Chains A and B, each alone.
Chain A
Amino acid sequence: MVKIFSISVLQAPPSGASVLLATANDLSSFSFYQKGSVGEFMTFFSKTVAERTPQGQRQSVQENNYTAHVYNRGGSEQLAAVIITDQEYPVRPAFSLLAKVMDEFTTKVPQAQWANPGTIQFPEMAGYISKYQDPRQADTIMRVQAELDETKIVLHKTIESVLQRGERLDTLVDRSNHLSAQSKMFYKTAKKQNSCCVIM
């Protein structure tokens, strides 16, 4: 399936926690009782990879059926964006979309508002996620943007490989304040039964 599950814009300072500024999810393919937990994990996954991407770098992180593409634009704005797709969504349209979303975000939302993410209005995000479900729609953006040097994108085969030494995904999940007890239980059961693809 060629599918985008989530797009987020975050403020990612070089050290410390990132702040989620705007996000949109398409979780229509998940079942009723899973949707909530999957949504929480999308945010958790986005924040985790954004915080571990050095400024100015592009990375793709695969985890089971999902791929998170992250672009940390850095600079004084310290802005990063993450798109979570399935394995079939092509890489170039994903990164073109990230650059476009960040450009649009900085023009529409003044930086003064970023300190207070609750007040940010960025409804365009929902439009992006539905329009670019078909990656061929991104052809027009790609023509405008400068050629992307794909060899500079770092590809990680699991999320564990972006974590710092001594960090473990299980511990991060366990300690996270953004995941509900039920989501943590879903994660543990899925992991124990090796039933990938559902939660994370």
Chain B
Amino acid sequence: MANALVHTLAGLLMENPLLSLEIVPGNIGAYLVEPPSPGQPSKEFPFLYTDGHLGVPKKTLHHLYPLALELLNTESRKDQLDASCVILLANPAHQTAMNTRKRLIQSATLSAHAELNFSARLLPSSRPASKESILWAHRRWIFSVLYPPAMPYFEAPSPGWVCSSEDPEIPPDVIEKEFELISRCCEMYPRNYHAWSHYHFVVQCIHASLRSSHPADSPHLPLFAVEFLKLRRWIESHVSDHSAVHQFCSIISLLQSSDLPRYQSVLAPLVDGQFEHALGLVASFPSHESLWMYLRAMITLSPVNATTLAGKAISSTAALDGPFRQKFVSWVKFTEK
């Protein structure tokens, strides 16, 4: 009976159309309705499932967890698959369950597309899942199974980027969904370093696709431009997200050293004007250090007139005295030496 619930939950997680997945507090008892009616949570179906939104009560999930751990060790592949779904929902850092799923993909029991879908449900389901590095790494592994690498090249285009021949060529529509997933996970768990590292990987894949022998009208190009502007807006509303600022600055340095086709017409205009952007944000939110670091990066990335920009930044922030501005001023003095 209890094992049947593991299979029911796994079915919901893998197969049913789901708009969202979350773990709700407490036991199913708190959600039961009187009188019992079909489709509503009950003792036999202890889950909330309304309009495609699945809620799994935490205590119910923890009750199923040891049963799923036992099932994982059985011979049946179906049992292993279902058990791993439940285990990962309760404990997204369960490396053995993740490896089991990798083996199931390699033995063609589980399709890589289905796994991509499942992992996109799992990641934003809880705060620990959103920031779980091995879940993100698992996603990158699935991409490498699904998509062949873009044309290989070996030199790193810019510091901080390690583009290699391994970067898969991911279709633009899949990339778009990937960016949406990253945003959701960064809302779920703010300043989410692991989600932003994954962002870095996706940008690397776009860059690899653009560098390979594709025609200049590659759909990756407008996508790149749109995402660049989205990231810029993200920084405006997430002023303490240091990782986001870091990704933004890395992309600018990547674009500056870029020899991509159509670079001049589409991508070069994006890079201009970011110094003023940083300066404006510092003026509005002077108590956020990440923005001061953004300002520093924008000065460093303009080697030609760094001194002029630094002078301008110091004079226009004169009214914002505080520890971060003092640090900034000493940094300018130090770099000028």
Q: Which residues of A contact B (CB under 8 A)?
A: 1-3, 29, 31-34, 88, 90, 133-136, 181-182, 185-186, 189-190
Return chain A residues, CB-CB under 8 Å to B190.
1
Q: Is the interface of B mostly helix, strand, loop or mixed?
A: mixed
Contacts A90-B285, A136-B284 given; indicate if A1 touches B22 (C-beta within 8 A): no
Closest residue of chain A to B52, judged by CB?
A: A32
B295 CB, nearest partner CB in chain A, Å: 17
A-B contacts, CB under 8 A, total: 49
- Please list 14 pairs of residues, one from A and one from B, whose beta carbons are closer than 8 Å in the complex, sorted by A's number: A1-B187, A2-B236, A2-B238, A2-B285, A29-B187, A31-B20, A32-B19, A32-B50, A32-B53, A32-B55, A133-B237, A136-B284, A182-B31, A189-B58
Known: A32-B19, A135-B284. 20 other contacts (CB 8 A): A1-B237, A1-B238, A2-B237, A2-B285, A29-B187, A32-B20, A32-B50, A33-B48, A33-B53, A88-B239, A90-B285, A133-B237, A134-B237, A136-B284, A185-B25, A185-B26, A186-B25, A189-B25, A189-B58, A190-B25
Q: Is B304 an interface residue (CB 8 A)?
A: no
When distances are taken between beta carbons in the complex, the residues of chain B under 8 Å from A185 are 25-26, 30
A60 to chain B, nearest CB (A): 15
Query: How many angstroms from the CA of A135 to the CA of B50 in the assembled complex?
Result: 36
How far is it, in angstroms, between the C-alpha of A189 and the C-alpha of B288 when the chains are bound? 33
B24 within 8 A of A: yes
Q: Tell me whether B250 is interfacial, beta carbon within 8 Å.
A: no
CA of A181 to CA of B32, assembled, Å: 12
Question: Complex formed: what's the CA distance from A182 to B48 in Å?
Answer: 13
Q: Are A33 and B237 CB-contacts (below 8 A) given A1-B190, A182-B31, A185-B30?
A: no
By Cβ-Cβ distance, the 5 closest A-B pairs, closest first, are A189-B25, A32-B53, A33-B55, A31-B22, A33-B24
Q: Return the CB mask of B277-310 against A: 1 if under 8 Å, else 0.
A: 0000000110010000000000000000000000
- Nearest CB in chain A to that of B240: its residue: A88
Residue of A at shortest CB range from B237? Answer: A2
Residue numbers in B under 8 Å from A135 (CB-CB): 284
Given contacts A33-B53, A185-B30, contact A3 B237 (CB under 8 A): yes
* Closest CB in chain B relative to A15 CB, distance in Å: 36
Nearest chain A residue, comparing its CB with the CB of B286? A90
> Residues of A contacting B53 with CB < 8 Å?
32-33
- Against A, the Cβ 8 Å flags (1 = close, 0 = not) of B20-36 are 10101110001100000
On whether A182 and B237 interact (CB within 8 A), knowing A31-B22, A32-B53, A33-B22, the answer reads no
Residues in chain A near residue B31, CB distance under 8 A: 182
B240 proximity list for chain A (CB < 8 A):
88
CB-CB < 8 A to B48: which residues of A? 33
Chain A nearest CB from B51 CB (Å) reads 8
In angstroms, Cα B26 to Cα A90, docked, is: 35
Report the Cα distance A62→B26, complex, angstroms: 26
Most buried by B among A29, A32, A90: A32
- Cα distance, A49 to B202, chains bound together (Å): 45
- Least distance between A133 CB and chain B CB atoms (Å): 7
Q: How far is the CB of A34 from chain B (nearest CB, A)?
A: 7
A32 to B58, CA, bound (A): 16
Enumerate chain B residues within 8 angstroms of A3, measured Cβ to Cβ: 237
Q: In the assembled complex, which residues on chain A have CB atoms less than 8 Å from the CB atom of B55? A: 32-33
Point out the residues of chain A lying under 8 angstroms from B239, CB to CB. Answer: 2, 88
Residue in contact with B236 in the complex, picked from A29, A31, A34, A134, CB distance below 8 Å: A134
The residue in chain A whose Cβ has the minimal distance to the Cβ of B236 is: A134
- Shortest Cβ distance from B126 into chain A, in angstroms? 9
- Please state if B22 and A182 are interface contacts (CB–CB under 8 Å): no
Chain A residues closer than 8 Å to B25, beta-carbon distance: 185-186, 189-190
In the complex, A3 Cα to B237 Cα: how many Å?
Answer: 8
Closest to A189 in B: B25
CB distance from B87 to the nearest CB of A (A): 20
Closest A residue to B288 by CB, please name it: A88
Bound together, the chains give a CA A88 to CA B55 distance in angstroms of: 30
Residues of B within 8 A of A2 (CB): 236-239, 285
Contact A189 to B237, CB < 8 A, known contacts A33-B55, A135-B284: no
- Nearest B residue to A3 via CB reads B237
Which residues of chain A are within 8 angstroms of B288 by Cβ–Cβ distance? 88
Contacts of B22 in A (CB 8 A): 31-34
A137 to chain B: closest CB distance in Å?
Answer: 11
A33 to B53, CA, bound (A): 8
Q: Mark B48-76, 1 if CB is under 8 A from A, else 0.
A: 10100101001000000000000000000
In chain A, what residue has the closest Cβ to B283? A136
The winner among A2, A3, A29, A181 for most chain B CB atoms within 10 A is A2
Least CB distance, B57 to chain A, in whole angstroms: 10
Instruction: Give Cα distance in the complex from A34 to B237, angstroms.
Output: 23
| B238 contacts across to A, CB distance below 8 A | 1-2
Whole-angstrom distance between the alpha carbons of A40 and B229 in the complex? 36
In the bound complex, CA of A2 to CA of B281 (Å): 12
